[in-house]
Chain A
Amino acid sequence: MSPVPGDGAPAIEIRGLSKVYGSSETAVRAIDGIDLQIGRGEMVAIMGPSGSGKSTLLHLLGALETPTSGSIALAGRRFEGLDDRELTLLRREGIGFVFQFFNLLPSLTAEENVLLPALIAGRRDDAIAARARELLERVGLGGRASHLPAELSGGEQQRVSIARALLMEPELVLADEPTGNLDSRSEAQVLELLAELNRTEGHTIVMVTHDLDAAAVAGRVVFMRDGRIESDGLARGLLDWLRRLREELPLP
C-alpha cells in the first residue's frame, strides 16, 4: 500500500483514542483518550511501566483490536467502519508485525517464512521471490535461508521476522518488544538493523519497549502511564537526562 505521492498526510493519525475493557465497576481504561501523530519515516519508541497501555496502543495501531472510542488513520485511511475483511487486507499490504516471540511458522524454512505474506496475498511472481531473498541477505541470514526456525537462534528468528515484516513494503512496521527475549548481543544486532532500515530506507517504525537501549536507537520516545501519554519528545534529550539521573543517584 503506497501513499499518494505528494500527500502530506502523516503515516499515523490518532484522535481521542480510548480502549476500555470490562464494564462499569470493573472497567479498565487501558487507553484513556490520547492524540498522537507519527510522520512518515519516523522511528518511535513507546515506553512505560506495565499497565501503561503501550502494548494496547500497538495492538490498536495494528488493527488487532478495535478502539472503544476515537479514531485511527493510517496514511489517511481511517480504521473505523472497516469490516474484518477490509482490515485484513489493510494489514496484508500496509502493516508489518514483529512480535516478541513465536513469530515464525515452525514447519516453514526461513525463506518460506519471509515469503509467507506474499503467498497469503496470492503473489507467486519472481519479483517478490527475489525481494524475499534480498531481504534475507539484508538481515544477514542469506546463508540460513533453508533452515527451520528450530535451527535458528532467538536473534536470528527475530531478524527473519523483520525481513518478513518488510516484504510487502508496508506503510508501517510495528514491533512489540522485539528484543525482550534476546541476549544482549542479539539485541544489539536487531536494534542496529531496525535503525539502519529506518535510516536508509525510510520505513516508519513504531516499537514498544521497556528497554532504554532500545529506546535510545529510536528518534522519538513516547512515554505512557495509566493509559495516557506523559511525554513525547526526542529520545536523546530524555535519555541524556535519565543517564545523568543514574550517575547522580547514590548507589550502595
Chain B
Amino acid sequence: MRARSTLRSYWGLSFRQLRARRLRVFLTVAGIVLGVGMICGVLLLAATIQRTFTDLYDSFYGKTDLVVSGSEGTGSLPASALGRVRRTEGVEDASGSIRAVTSLIGDDGRVADGRGSTLNVSGDDPGATDFTDWTTTAGREIEGGREIELEQSWAEANGIEVGDRVRLAAPAGVTGLEVVGLLRFSSGLDFGGEGFASMPLRTARRAFDKPDSFEEVEVVVTGDDEGGVQAVRDRLEREFGEGVEVATPAAKGEDVQRQLQAFNVILYFFAGMALFVGGFLIFNSFNMTVLQRMREIGMQRTLGATRPMVVRSVLLEALLLGVLGAVLGLGLGVVLALGLISLMRAIDFPVGDLELTWIAPAAAVATGLLTAVLGALNPARRAGRIAPIRAVLGSEGLRARPGPLRALAGVAMFLPGLAGAFLLGAADETTTPVVAAGIAGIIAIFFGIALIAPFLIEPLARVLSWPIRRLAPVEGRLASDSARSNPGRTAATATALMIGLALVVGINSLGSSFLNSIEREFDRSLARDLTVQPRGFSPGQGPQQTIAKGLAKEIERLPDAAVVARERLVAVPHLPRVRGGGEGPQGLLFAFDPAVYPRVDTTDLDGDGASREQVYERIGKGQVTVGKGYAEEDGIEVGDTLILEGPSDTRDARVAAIVETIFAGGQTVGLSLETLRDVFGVTADSQLALKASSDGARIQLEREVEKLVERDYPNLTVLSNDELKSDVEDQLNQSFGFFNALVGVAILASLFGIVNTLSMSVIERTREIGVLRALGATRWQIRRTIADESLVIALIGAAMGIAIGAGLGWALLKGLSFGIPGVSYQPPVGTMAGVAIAAVILGLIAAILPARRAARLDVVEALSYE
C-alpha cells in the first residue's frame, strides 16, 4: 500500500481525466495545435519578412541619408536632377544610379525559366563616393567599361566566378560583360533567388537604353543630426514638386512592407479560421464528454461538489488542453514558418532566414488558451447544471431537441454575417477595420450556420444517405439513424468540416469568376495575333523587364507583320487623381500609340458621344482614358481633369473616355506613349502586340518572330492569344493554390473532429453493436456501419460547405463587383465536385480507427454494457 495517495486535490481530477483518455485528448487538442501552429507560423513569417526588408534596405543603402526617386518608385528622374540635388543646401554629396531588370543568358543561348536567371542591375558611377554597405568578397570593384560586379550567392548559384564573361539580356539587347568582382550585402541577405549586380553608369546607360535619366539619386547630408536630414528633405521636396519622392531608406523599406499588409492580413485570416475550427472541436468534444460523464458528475455532486466547482474543473481541463495544444502548436508553428518561407521563395518572393521573435509564440499561445477556454465555456456551464440525481439516472430522459429559438438566433447571425462578407468585397481598400469587419462577418456566417445546422441534419441525413442505403440497406439505415439520433452532435461535427470546405469553395468562386470574366474580355477585346513580352512578365509585382527598342523596328521590317503596337505598363501605388478628388487607388498606367493601337484592340470605349477615332485622336493630343473600375469608384466622368504627376513633369489631362475593362480590376489610366515619357520618364516597352498581314500569314509571322527573339532577345517570349490567356490563368491559380493550401490546415483539423465524434458514437452504441453481432452481423459489416455514419457526416459537411461557400463567394463577389464592374459570378463547379469527392475520402479515412474498435468489441461485454 502506498504511503500517500497521488491525488492531492479536487483540481487534480482534471489532470487525471485527461491522462485516462489519451487518444481522446489528442483528437480534441489537434484543432488547437493546428490553429496555434498557424498563428505562430504566420506571425513568425511576418516578422521575418519585416526583418528581411529592414535589413535589406539598411545594408543596401548604407550611409545614404535620403533617396530621391519617382513617386514611390515609379518612373525616372531627368539627368539634370543630380545637379539640382547637389546644389541644394545641406547636401554634402549625391550620386545617381539607374536600374534595370535583366536576364542571364546561359551557355546554350537561352534564358532559363524561373527567377534564378533574373538579375537586378544598378548602374553606378564608379568615380562617385560609395555610400553603400556592400563588401567586395572577391576580385575588385567596378572601375569602368564592360565590367560587372555580381552578388556572391547568385553568382555561386549560377556557377559564375571572377574572371568569367557573362551575357545579359538587357533592355537594349544582349550585352557581354566581364565579372571583375563579387559583392555581398552587410547583412548577408540576398533577393531570394534573384540576383543583384553593379556596373559602371556609362556602360549601363547604353545597355539599358537610358541615356539621360536616373532612377535614384542617393544623398548624404552634412552633419549627423536628424533635424538636418529632415530640413534637407523638405528643401528637396520643394525643389522638385509632386511627382518626386524624397525618403529615408527606412521609409522606403516600410513602404514595401505596407504593400505586403494585405497579404499578411489574409494569412492572419486563415490562421484565425484554423483556430476557430479548433475552438469548435473543443466545444463539440467537451459537449460529448460532459454527456458521457453525466453519471460521474452527478456522483461528484452527491459527494458535495458545488456547481461552480464542477464548472471550474471542466474549464481547468480545457485550459490544460489549451496549454498542451499551445506547446505542441509552437513547435508546429516554427516548422510551418520554415515551410511558408520556402513556399514564398518558390513563388519568387525574396525572404531571409527565420526571425524568432517572442511576440509570435506569446500571441499564439494566448489565443490558443483563450480559444480552448471559450470553446469549453458552454459545455462547462452545462456540466455545472447537472443535478446530483444524475448519479442514479445517468443521461436517461435527456435527449432534448434543439429549440426553435436557436434556429432564430442562427438566422439572426447568418444574415448580418453575409452582409459583412459583402462589405468586405465592396470595400475600396483593405484597411484593418474593414478586414476585421469582414472576418467578423464570415465568422458570424459560420456561427449562424452552426446554430441552424441541427435542424438541417434530419433532411440532409435522409437525402445524403440515400445512395448508401441503396447499396447496403441495413447498414445505411443504421448509419443514417445514428447520425439523426443526436442532431446536435452530428451538426457540430459536420459544421467544423463545413467551415474549411466553404472557404475553399468561396475562394475558388472568386477565382473562377475572375477567370471567366477575364477570358470573356480577352475574347471580346483582343484583336491581335501575337504578343511579345518578357518571360515571367507580371505587372504590379515589382520592377519588370523591358523590351529592347530595336526589336519593334526589326519586326516591322518583316513582310508578314502588318501592325506592331508598343505597350508600356507601369504599376503605380496611386493612380493620377481627378481634380478636386482624393488620392487615387493602386492601379496600372497603360500607354500605347493611339495611331496604331486601335488595330490590335477592340475594347469598348465610352467617349460620351465621341467616336472611337475621335477618342484616340484626343489621346494623341495628351488626353487620357480611365478604366471603369476607377471611374465608378471615384465618380470620374468624360470631360473631368486628371492631374498627372511624375518625376519629369506635372500636367493636367482631360478624360477622353471610360474603358470597359476588368484588367487590373478596372483601375487603369490609358495614355499615349508620349505623355508617359514626358511625365514619368518611361521610355521602354513592356509588350508588343502584333497583327499579321493576313490569316494565312499568321503562322509564318509567329515562326519568324520566334526565330528573331531566340537569337537576339532570349529573355523574351512570343505568345498566341490562347497562350496569353493560360498565362494569366496560371498566375491566378498559383495565388489561389497558396490559399487553398492554408485552408487545407483547417480542413485537416476538422477531420480530427470527425474521428472524435465517431469514437464517441461507437461507445454510445456499444450495446447496439453487441446486439447486432449477436444477431449474426460480421465484424466487417459493423465496420461498414461506422464507415457509413462517417460518410453521412462528411457528406453533410460537404453539402453545407458547398452551399455556404457558393453563397459566401457570391456575397464577396457582389461586393467586389462594385469596384470592379464587369465581373460576374461563376460558380466553381470543378472545385465543388472536388470538395464532394474529398468529403467522401475524408469520411472514409476518419472512420478507420473507430470502425476497427467497433468491430473488435467483444460481443458479451458489449451486450452487458450499461
Contact = CB atoms under 8 A, between A and B. Distances in A.
Given A102-B295, A107-B20, A112-B7, A120 B309 contact: yes
Given A59-B392, A91-B303, A106-B296, 5 more contacts: A62-B388, A88-B307, A101-B866, A107-B19, A117-B303
Interface in A55-69: 55, 59, 62-65
Given A88-B305, A107-B16, A99 B392 contact: yes
A65 B301 CA distance: 13
A88 B19 contact: no
Contacts of B304: 88-89, 91-93, 117, 120-121
Nearest to A133: B1
20 contacts: A59-B389, A62-B302, A64-B387, A64-B388, A65-B389, A85-B306, A89-B304, A102-B299, A108-B13, A108-B16, A109-B5, A111-B5, A112-B7, A115-B7, A119-B9, A120-B309, A124-B8, A124-B9, A143-B1, A176-B392
A201 interface: no
A38 B642 CA distance: 99
Interface string A45-88: 00000000001000100111100000000000000000011001
Interface in B395-439: none
B721 to A, nearest CB: 70
In the A-B complex, list the 8 residue pairs whose CB atoms are closest, starting with the nearest.
Answer: A92-B304, A107-B20, A64-B389, A112-B7, A119-B10, A107-B16, A145-B1, A111-B5
A103 B5 CA distance: 19
A153 interface: no
A109 B13 CA distance: 12
Nearest to A107: B20
Contacts of B265: none
Interface string B1-25: 1101111111011001101100000
Interface in A100-146: 101-103, 105-109, 111-112, 115-117, 119-122, 124, 129, 132-133, 142-143, 145-146
A143 B1 CA distance: 6
Given A120-B305, A120-B309, A107 B17 contact: yes
B1 to A, nearest CB: 5
A65 B392 CA distance: 11
A92 B309 CA distance: 13
B538 interface: no
B10 A88 contact: no
A203 B8 CA distance: 28
A143 B2 CA distance: 10
B79 interface: no
Contacts of B16: 107-108
A252 to B, nearest CB: 32
A105 B1 contact: no
Contacts of A112: 5-7
Interface string A172-195: 000010000000000000000000
Nearest to B306: A88
B840 interface: no
Contacts of B296: 102, 105-106
Contact of B5 (A63, A95, A129): A129
Given A85-B306, A91-B388, A145-B1, A120 B299 contact: no
Interface in B489-536: none
Contacts of B389: 59, 64-65
Contacts of A103: 299
A97 B302 contact: yes
Contacts of A64: 302, 387-389, 391-392
A119 B299 contact: no
Interface residues of A, number: 43
A63 B389 CA distance: 9
Contacts of B303: 91-92, 97, 116-117, 120, 164
Contacts of B306: 84-85, 88-89
Interface in B173-210: none
Interface of A: 55, 59, 62-65, 84-85, 88-89, 91-93, 95, 97, 99, 101-103, 105-109, 111-112, 115-117, 119-122, 124, 129, 132-133, 142-143, 145-146, 164, 176
Q: Give the interface residue-count category, chain B.
A: 20 to 34
A134 to B, nearest CB: 12
Contacts of A89: 304, 306
A112 B303 CA distance: 13
Nearest to B15: A107
Contacts, number: 106
B733 interface: no
A162 to B, nearest CB: 14
Nearest to B303: A117
B302 A91 contact: yes
Nearest to A144: B1
A203 to B, nearest CB: 17
B28 to A, nearest CB: 16
Contacts of A143: 1
Contacts of B391: 64, 97, 99, 102
Contacts of A146: 1-2
Nearest to A119: B10
Nearest to A164: B303
A91 B391 CA distance: 14
B831 interface: no
Contacts of B8: 119, 124
A63 B301 CA distance: 11
B388 A105 contact: no
A109 B6 contact: yes
Most buried by A among B4, B13, B296, B388: B388
B300 interface: yes
Nearest to A161: B299
A65 B387 CA distance: 9
Contacts of A142: 1
Contacts of A88: 301, 304-307, 388
Nearest to A176: B392
A129 B302 contact: no
A138 to B, nearest CB: 14
A122 B10 contact: yes
B516 to A, nearest CB: 58
Contacts of B305: 88, 120
Contacts of A59: 389, 392
A19 to B, nearest CB: 12
B19 A120 contact: no
B45 to A, nearest CB: 41
A176 B392 CA distance: 9
A196 B266 CA distance: 73
Nearest to B10: A119
Interface string B245-287: 0000000000000000000000000000000000000000000
Contacts of A117: 303-304
Contacts of B866: 101-102
Interface string B286-330: 000000000110011111111101000000000000000000000
A121 B309 CA distance: 10
A64 B7 CA distance: 27
Contacts of A119: 7-10, 12-13
Contacts of A62: 302, 388
B865 to A, nearest CB: 12
B5 A115 contact: yes
B288 to A, nearest CB: 17
A219 to B, nearest CB: 25
A164 B5 CA distance: 14
Nearest to B1: A145
Contacts of A116: 300, 303
A91 B13 CA distance: 20
A63 B19 CA distance: 33
Contact of A129 (B4, B17, B301): B4
Interface string B374-403: 000000000000011101101000000000
Contacts of B7: 108, 112, 115, 119
A64 B390 CA distance: 9
Nearest to B2: A146
